[in-house]
Amino acid sequence: MAVESKIQHLQAKGPLSHYRFYTALRPSLLCEQRKERSVAAFLRLFHFDSWEEALRDSSGMNAVMCAVFSGDKAMLRKLAEGQADMNVGLQGLGDLGYYDTQTTLMVATKSRQDASLLQALLELRANVNGTSRAGITALYLSRSPEHVKVLLEYRADMPHYVLRGAASYASPQTVQALLTARCDATWLDDDTGASPLNGLALFGRSNAQAVETAKLLLDHRANVNACARPMNSQAWVHRLARAQVAVFGWSNCKKMPRLLASLPGIAPLGCAAMVGHEQLA
């Protein structure tokens, strides 16, 4: 089986952080029931030499992150009793889609953990409003209505931009939970000038329910013709990208400069067309 072969290869060849990542997610990837482990089993599985090492480990994929990715609430509580940091930032997994400085709560939401794991982290003093270097919070990365409910119960701040995250990556039910909590579907980002509908159209190909979410946003008065208009320092990022494309040529630039050069003035329809999402367009 592909997952098992991947884990065996990483166990033999490394890197250790990737081995721990796939091992922690193994039950989820194989649709198996998750089991809480003894301390000895946890240390053996994730290659920690001792409990003291697990508590001290400051690597990006440390013991706390292993427990979060594997959905192990009991182990999180044991780690907290040993004074492990529940607000540690992730490091070194950018090539797997989990970016540096994302918090334990962000990892829990993004990896679609059960809401009870979020509640356990919050009970253990995880910061509900902790931000990554990109300025986003766990609420932005919510993947279910239950995530939204738990985070708001613990007084998560709810800037309107969180709706763009849910619209882009989560389900219509998650978007509805934020709309019910009074997020504004018509809101435009202060820096990028982008709306939730812009975000959905841009990232919709990775969201199987994008069309349903788009209809929900439109039912809540999202402007189908709202164009992204970057402002402040963000405008300079796009200007530099356009200059780079103009100097080196479209085909000679990487994906990100081309994307940044294309966004100013683009409407949701243009975003959908740019990424090739025919159903949404």
Query: Residue 67: exposed, middle, or buried by beta-carbon count in 10 A (0-12, 13-18, 19+)?
Result: buried
pLDDT tens digits, 221-273: 999 998 888 888 888 999 999 999 999 999 999 988 998 999 899 999 999 99
CA atoms of 255 and 112, how far apart (whole Å): 28
Q: Which pLDDT tens digit goes with each residue over 129-166?
A: 999 998 899 999 999 999 999 999 999 999 989 999 99
Whole-structure pTM value: 0.90
**What is the reported pLDDT for 206?**
86
Structure tokens at 201: 């159209």
Check if the beta carbon of residue 169 is closer than 8 Å to that of residue 206. yes
Q: What is the pLDDT of residue 121?
A: 98
Give the model confidence (pLDDT) of 105-117 as tens digits: 999 999 999 999 9
The CATH class for the domain spanning 159-229+265-281 reads: mainly alpha
Mean pLDDT score of the chain, rounded to an integer?
Answer: 93
Amino acid identity for residue 166 in this structure:
A
pLDDT at residue 175, as a whole number = 98
Tens digits of residue pLDDT in 159-217 = 989 999 999 999 999 999 999 999 999 988 877 878 999 999 998 888 899 999 999 99
Closest C-alpha among 25, 33, 93, 35 to residue 59: 93
Q: What's the CA gap between 8 and 2, in Å, rounded? A: 10
Distance CA 111, CA 96 (A): 12
Domain parsing of the chain, residue ranges: 159-229+265-281
CB 175 within 8 A of CB 218: no
